Amino acid sequence: MALRTPLNRLPKQTLSSLPSSTSALLPRPSNPSPWHRPTPVRSLATIVAPPVTQSSTSRHGPTALVFMNMGGPSTLPEVGPFLSRLFADADLIPLGRLQPYLGPLISRRRTPKIQSQYAAIGGGSPIRKWSEYQSEEMCKLLDERCPESAPHKPYVAFRYADPLTEEMYTRLLEDGFGKQGRAVAFTQYPQYSCSTTGSSLNELWKWRMRLEGKEPEGGGVKWSVIDRWPTHPGLVEAFAQNIEAQLATYPKEVRRDVLLIFSAHSLPMSVVNRGDTYPAEVAATVHAVLTRLRFQNPYRLCWQSQVGPSAWLGAQTSDTVASYVKKGHKDMILIPIAFTSDHIETLFELDQEVIHEAHKEGGTGVKRAESLNGSRVFIEALADVARAHLEGGEICSRQMGIRCQGCKSERCLEQKRFFMGARTGRGVEEVVR
């Protein structure tokens, strides 16, 4: 179950009973899934660390598992810096030549409004707590199931909030992975987009160059990438079980008529039109979940969190729900299909805006499926994705070598050449075109 009440809104006596370690936030269920398969800001000065070591039972370990995500401000004072980084990222929000001027202006104007939204969900995003919990629990499973690459060490690298990519990279070097230690960049966006996973990989490549250089002394960190996993059976099962749990709250006679509204973060149409694979991969996840549910309910896929006046991928989630309520659909389940944990898009945008407005207009049966958060099925899925990657020996997926049809970004090209060049051993010009 998700912690739907933010931690800093719980009574003091409840908070005092919570364990300090995120790895103990939730109990393990008695019946596990049947299928298997605060970081401090650190100095960026030169780091001298011993090489990572191996044991007789761990021929390829230790292994760093780096969870990449956009992140979110954990406290209200962090909202301003978070927005500044977000609106400065042309991969996510392309503003053209005026980005260095418009980005700071937009972030300053939006900060008070966004701070009030984070205040409404408890004073900050829970995404860091969930990311740390998920990565820790996954690594425990990997230590049991993949002894040759053990021990597995969890790291979190956020694009716009602490712990930032440079903080994570500094920790890696301090921990000795700069002497040919193995590290896996594991995107927590199951569906690939140049604006999300691509942006995180660009940032990772940038800090690799800044902190290690093109030819690092000692060999450098040996990177591989899990860049997408939209239809993994465990991911699909985790979504399906959360939908089924919410469907069970409706009377049996109306259950099959409940409308399933799959909601994913939208993209600017300029990104979509240059060939980004995200819409197709989100649709693939939706289709896989519906197949698991045997298409028993009507459904729609829509898109949320549009920012600014430019054209974004639609239809918008808020408009979709409002339209169906007016047409007499009072029973709907919102499913955040592209998110792996709760954050402001679920706790505020869906719960306190979309669902609240629907209830005001008579859509009293509009609800939301739980986010994946601490789902043991989901954590099993994470471990299975990582296990297959570690045992398969791939550096990244074959899709990584295919640029978007309209891509003209030199940074994207160099990043792909860096990761894909290690994959084949061929000249990088032969790998990415």
Q: How confident is the model over 372-398, as a mean pLDDT?
A: 95
Q: What is the pLDDT of residue 185?
A: 97
- What pLDDT band is residue 432 in, cutting at 50, 70 and 90? low
Least confident among 24-38, 145-159, 165-179, 232-246:
24-38
Q: What is the pLDDT of residue 40?
A: 39
Q: Note the pTM of the prediction, 2 decimals.
A: 0.84
Contacts of 410 (CB under 8 A, 6+ apart): none
The overall average pLDDT reported for the chain is 86
- What pLDDT band is residue 36 in, cutting at 50, 70 and 90? very low
pLDDT > 80? residue 50 = no
Select from 39, 61, 349 the least CA-distant residue to 222.
61
Q: What is the pLDDT of residue 430?
A: 45
Select from 335, 172, 195 the least CA-distant residue to 261.
335
- Bridge partners, residue 154, by sequence: 65
pLDDT > 90? residue 64 = yes
Q: What is the pLDDT of residue 30?
A: 39
Report the alpha-carbon distance of residue 178 to residue 219 in Å, rounded. 7
Q: What is the pLDDT of residue 25?
A: 36
* 3-class SS of residue 41: coil
Least confident among 71-80, 164-173, 206-215:
206-215
Residue 178 in contact with residue 212, Cβ under 8 Å? yes
Residue 270 in contact with residue 313, Cβ under 8 Å? no
DSSP state for residue 352 in the 8-state scheme: I
Q: How confident is the model over 396-422, as a mean pLDDT?
A: 87
pLDDT > 90? residue 400 = no
pLDDT > 70? residue 114 = yes
Report the alpha-carbon distance of residue 248 to residue 256 in Å, rounded. 10
47 against 122, higher pLDDT: 122
Catalytic residue among 89, 143, 276, 384: 384
Residue 211's Cα: distance from chain center in Å? Answer: 25
**Active-site annotation holds for 232:** yes
**Active-site annotation holds for 384:** yes
Residue 1 in contact with residue 370, Cβ under 8 Å? yes
Q: How confident is the model over 367-377, as a mean pLDDT?
A: 97
pLDDT > 50? residue 29 = no
* Two tokens, residue 223: 């990177």
Least confident among 47-61, 146-160, 264-278, 409-423:
47-61
Catalytic residue among 152, 232, 265, 329: 232
Phi, psi of 134 (to 5 degrees): -60, -45
Least confident among 306-315, 328-337, 378-387:
306-315
pLDDT > 90? residue 126 = yes
Q: What is the pLDDT of residue 161?
A: 96
Least confident among 49-53, 84-88, 194-198, 264-268:
49-53
Q: How confident is the model over 37-52, as a mean pLDDT?
A: 42
pLDDT > 80? residue 353 = yes
- Taking CA 303 as the corner, what is the angle to CA 298 and CA 307, rounded to the nearest 5 degrees? 160
Q: What is the pLDDT of residue 276?
A: 96
- What pLDDT band is residue 52 in, cutting at 50, 70 and 90? low
Q: What is the pLDDT of residue 37?
A: 38
Report the alpha-carbon distance of residue 416 to residue 187 in Å, rounded. 15
Q: What is the pLDDT of residue 204?
A: 96
Report the alpha-carbon distance of residue 176 to residue 94 in Å, rounded. 37
Q: How confident is the model over 321-325, as a mean pLDDT?
A: 97
pLDDT > 50? residue 221 = yes
